[in-house]
Amino acid sequence: MLDFRNEPFTDFSTPANRQAMEAALAKVGSEFGREYDLRLAGEPLKTPDKLKSVNPSRPSEIVGIHQKATPAMASKAIGAAHAFFPEWSRTDPAVRVAMLRRVAQSIRSRKLEFDAWLVYEAGKTWPEAEADVCEAIDFCEYYALEMERLSGPQPVSQLPGEKGELRYIPLGVGLIIPPWNFPLAIMAGMTAAALVTGNTVVLKPSSETPTIAAKFAEVLLEAGFPERSFCLLIGSGSAIGDLLVEHPKTRFVAFTGSRDVGLRINELAARHQKGQVWIKRVIAEMGGKDAIVVDADCDLDQAVEGVAVSAFGYQGQKCSACSRAIVDAKVYEPFLEKLQARVAGIRMGAAEDPSNYMGPVISDSARKSILNYIEVGKGEGRLLTGGSAQDSDGYFVRPTVIADVEPSAKIFQEAVSKAGSFEQALEMANDSQYGLTGAVYSNNPEHIRQARERFFVGNLYLNRKCTGAMVGAHPFGGFNLSGTDSKAGGPDYLLLFLQAKSIAEKIG
């Protein structure tokens, strides 16, 4: 059992913490519009083509200006990471572990500042930003502990006349491609896992959240990670992604993002390139259409609360978000009545205002595509609440619930549907190409047993919301087209970044 404890969340209900957060927001706001360099093997670089990241609550505000890497730079980054790999892979794991603990400590000491960057660049409300930052700290601490476990001798049976050994060694250059929705936690987690296991890294963050990545790179350097151990490449995935994935010196790709991009990466990585002497490994964590099943015998108020926070926390943009509620016919109408009242009471507005529960969605294109989807839903079901954009500059979409949707509808994966029995509800929940998270609200022990056995998701929650996985307690990753089930924050994760070497020496 690891001696691991999750980072406690800052309590923003205390006046002192609120004031400290206001001060952090002011400090970060005063840094808006700053220009950040690319980092290519320690070399800071500027390029003529800039990427401007904006505040989704007020898109006229430029949060940071970044350099778009050229394809030649992307290729150079992989080459540089490959050149430093032999030296980095031979560092004492204890040294790398100590560096990672310093990363955790550094983020901890600048927690509210990181919270503020997440509020402004990702549109996270204070508690959502805090959860993201705490998770980043947790990943660093957890993987540091895990590396201590894995860098020691591993158990193998001993044959007479031989000394047997099994040790884990790193893979090579890792390409790290995170999404924007957990722009610190997932980026830091995948990068930390790759570096602490002795791999060198080319980090290509999401184009929506490059400033948070630039801040994280500063922390890596402060913590002692050598300049040559990682490259930070800003630039759109469509412009440099294929080149990075296909490069013959790329040894593995750790990706978290959408299904289509993940499948493309998997396909390209599988193709052998001239000069490539390995089979590339792909760790891909992708989307979900996560369902909450509401049984006839359950605490209906708890179920309504669980659905509301799982569906609308961070504007429903978490991969674990509840997009479908499947409700037993016996409690369907009272459930809808309570849900409508609960959701209609959600306050939405600028993410930096702590009285808002919901902030903006990440971008104008996200807003447009959600609104298009809502229009389809209005034709296929009954609009209970929401259904439109908020009339303001920010990328706001009102919390929307569509009910009475048949399993055959296009919008079935995003709505409230009625089930005739618990068995049918489970079937409907499993009727998806994904299998990331799911929850069941029920007081019926037999139904809970059936859910444990048959609900096909990587992360199943019983009588609680389906978001908010905690590092160490809820290793995270999904089935089917939700990805390779990497179980981030769990005991299997670092092994994905390592290969095992068996050594047998004849003795006597």
Residues recognised as catalytic:
285, 319
Decide: 140 and 216 in contact? Cβ < 8 Å. no
Closer to ligand NAP by Cβ: residue 356 or 484: 484
Among 146, 285, 290, 414, the residue binding ligand NAP under the rule CB under 6 A is 285
Alpha-carbon separation of residue 250 from 172, 227, 254, 407 (angstroms): 7, 19, 11, 42
Joined together, the tokens standing for residue 169 give 């060694």
By CB under 6 A, tell whether 287 contacts ligand NAP.
Answer: yes
Closer to ligand NAP by Cβ: residue 348 or 436: 436
Nearest-approach distance from CB 207 to ligand NAP, in angstroms: 3
Closer to ligand NAP by Cβ: residue 57 or 206: 206
Judged on CB neighbours under 10 Å (0-12, 13-18, 19+), 145 is middle
Gyration radius from the chain CA atoms? 23
C-alpha to C-alpha distance for 368 and 399, rounded to whole angstroms: 14
SS3 215: helix
Among 55, 106, 199, 206, the residue binding ligand NAP under the rule CB under 6 A is 206
Question: x/- string (CB under 6 A) for ligand NAP, residues 241-280?
Answer: xx--x----------xxx--x--xx---------------
Among 84, 182, 441, 455, the residue binding ligand NAP under the rule CB under 6 A is 182
Nearest-approach distance from CB 23 to ligand NAP, in angstroms: 30
Neighbouring residues of 314: CB distance < 8 A, sequence distance ≥ 6: 124, 125, 128, 181, 321, 359
Question: x/- string (CB under 6 A) for ligand NAP, residues 330-359?
Answer: ------------------------------
Contacts by residues 484-491 (CB-CB < 8 Å, ≥ 24 positions apart)? 484/282, 484/283, 484/284, 484/285, 485/458, 486/283, 486/284, 486/285, 487/458, 488/139, 488/186, 488/189, 488/190, 488/193, 488/285, 489/138, 489/139, 489/142, 489/189, 491/146
By CB under 6 A, tell whether 207 contacts ligand NAP.
Answer: yes
DSSP string, 438-457: EEEE-S-HHHHHHHHHH---
Among 109, 158, 236, 433, the residue binding ligand NAP under the rule CB under 6 A is 236
Joined together, the tokens standing for residue 32 give 């808006």
Judged on CB neighbours under 10 Å (0-12, 13-18, 19+), 8 is exposed
Closer to ligand NAP by Cβ: residue 321 or 326: 321
Closer to ligand NAP by Cβ: residue 298 or 436: 436
By CB under 6 A, tell whether 360 contacts ligand NAP.
Answer: no
Nearest-approach distance from CB 205 to ligand NAP, in angstroms: 6
By rule CB under 6 A, what count of residues binds ligand NAP? 34
Binding window for ligand NAP (CB under 6 A); candidates: 30-38, 62-70, 285-293, 459-467? 285-293
By CB under 6 A, tell whether 286 contacts ligand NAP.
Answer: yes
Place of tokens 């998270």: 437
Decide: 451 and 460 in contact? Cβ < 8 Å. yes
SS3 324: strand
Nearest-approach distance from CB 121 to ligand NAP, in angstroms: 13
By CB under 6 A, tell whether 369 contacts ligand NAP.
Answer: no
SS3 430: helix
Cβ neighbours of 80 (radius 10 Å) = 22
Among 13, 60, 238, 355, the residue binding ligand NAP under the rule CB under 6 A is 238
Closer to ligand NAP by Cβ: residue 342 or 474: 474
Among 123, 360, 483, 490, the residue binding ligand NAP under the rule CB under 6 A is 483
Nearest-approach distance from CB 181 to ligand NAP, in angstroms: 5
Among 88, 139, 168, 180, the residue binding ligand NAP under the rule CB under 6 A is 180
C-alpha to C-alpha distance for 194 and 251, rounded to whole angstroms: 11
Closer to ligand NAP by Cβ: residue 422 or 476: 476
Nearest-approach distance from CB 183 to ligand NAP, in angstroms: 9
By CB under 6 A, tell whether 489 contacts ligand NAP.
Answer: no
Decide: 147 and 196 in contact? Cβ < 8 Å. yes
Question: x/- string (CB under 6 A) for ligand NAP, residues 411-450?
Answer: -------------------------x--------------
Q: List phi, psi (to 5°) of 294.
A: -110, 110
C-alpha to C-alpha distance for 350 and 394, rounded to whole angstroms: 8
Nearest-approach distance from CB 462 to ligand NAP, in angstroms: 20
Task: Point out which residues bind ligand NAP (CB under 6 A).
Answer: 177-182, 186, 204-208, 236-238, 241-242, 245, 256-258, 261, 264-265, 285-288, 319, 436, 476, 478, 482-483
